[in-house]
Amino acid sequence: MTCQSLVLTRKTNVLLVRSFTILVLICIVMKPEVCFSSVLSSLKALHLQGYITFENNEFASRDFGNQIHSHPLAVVHPKSVTDISEIVTHVWQMGPASELTVAARGHGHSLQGQAQTRGGVIINMESLQQDQEMQVYYNGVKFPYVDVSAGELWINILHETLRYGLAPKSWTDYLHLTVGGTLSNAGISGQAFRHGPQISNVHQLEVVTGFIGFIAGKGEVLICSQEQNADLFHAVLGGLGQFGIITKARISLERAPKMVNYKYHKSLKDKSVVL
């Protein structure tokens, strides 16, 4: 090989290595873009009974605490449980590479961004409530109960059950909170000393399963209770939305008292609460 052709080969090799390096760098820079646009278009292609919004979602990056502001990629306004199941299954099928997370949002009265997800999908549970009627059962049953959507506010449940002379056994003191939001925490009030928190006064739940740990269900719609799918039931109650999304709840009722005397003794000697 002549000296001239040797120099030429070396130059070609250097050029090849440079081109390859540039290609790799372009891929690294472009990949998130490609991934982002494929996530976006796959969400847009979903056929839901409700709808998805990709803009004007500022409300979902705020909560009562007003300290954390995580902007989501999309907000789903489900019209049915099937919508929620479809979105959770879809996110699961996209796999971890999509880095997509899902969070249920009730009335947004969390203080630390618990119902938010940065760049993920928010499920606006209150839009589900608009399509599901409450059903009160009191005739021919051992104990009265009401079946409600998880997006329902406790104040509306009180108004509806009072029409039958009934009321939920356990409350929160503030009632403009959703069923799913408080059952994902505990739900405490002045009645908790007598009946326990709200999570101890639920007969049954309908849940769209998540994909964490031992309860990996990938978007299935399951009924759970003390007797049926008990692991799921106990994980979801007080589970901060990490084990599945509560879509319906069967809440225990009692006869509503005509009058309530509420006294709170604050003295150190006497801390009792009288109802």
- Enumerate binding residues for ligand FAD (CB under 6 A): 63-64, 103-110, 114-115, 125, 150, 172-174, 177-178, 180-182, 184-189, 240-241, 245-246
CB of 205 to ligand FAD, least distance (A): 9
CB of 45 to ligand FAD, least distance (A): 25
Indicate the residue among 13 and 130 with the shorter CB distance to ligand FAD. 130
CA distances to 37, 66, 80, 101, 229 from 72, in Å = 15, 16, 21, 9, 32
What is the DSSP code (8-state) at residue 256? P
Which pair of structure tokens corresponds to residue 143?
């104990």
CB of 109 to ligand FAD, least distance (A): 3
Beta strands in the chain (DSSP E): 51-53, 74-77, 102-105, 121-124, 135-137, 145-149, 166-168, 202-209, 211-212, 215-216, 221-225, 244-255, 263-264, 273-274
Residue type for position 70: S
CA distances to 5, 7, 44, 67, 226 from 2, in Å = 5, 9, 61, 72, 86
**Which runs of consecutive H residues, i.e. helices, occur in 45-140?**
81-94, 126-129
Sign of the CA dihedral running 213, 217, 223, 229: negative
CB of 222 to ligand FAD, least distance (A): 13
Indicate the residue among 76 and 103 with the shorter CB distance to ligand FAD. 103
Q: How many CB atoms lie within 10 A of CB 116?
A: 21
Indicate the residue among 168 and 180 with the shorter CB distance to ligand FAD. 180
Indicate the residue among 21 and 67 with the shorter CB distance to ligand FAD. 67
CB of 11 to ligand FAD, least distance (A): 60
**H or E stretch covering 61:** none
CB of 148 to ligand FAD, least distance (A): 11
Q: Are 163 and 252 in contact (CB under 8 A)?
A: no
**Which runs of consecutive H residues, i.e. helices, occur in 45-141?**
81-94, 126-129
Indicate the residue among 11 and 69 with the shorter CB distance to ligand FAD. 69
Indicate the residue among 39 and 249 with the shorter CB distance to ligand FAD. 249
CB of 104 to ligand FAD, least distance (A): 4
Indicate the residue among 70 and 98 with the shorter CB distance to ligand FAD. 70
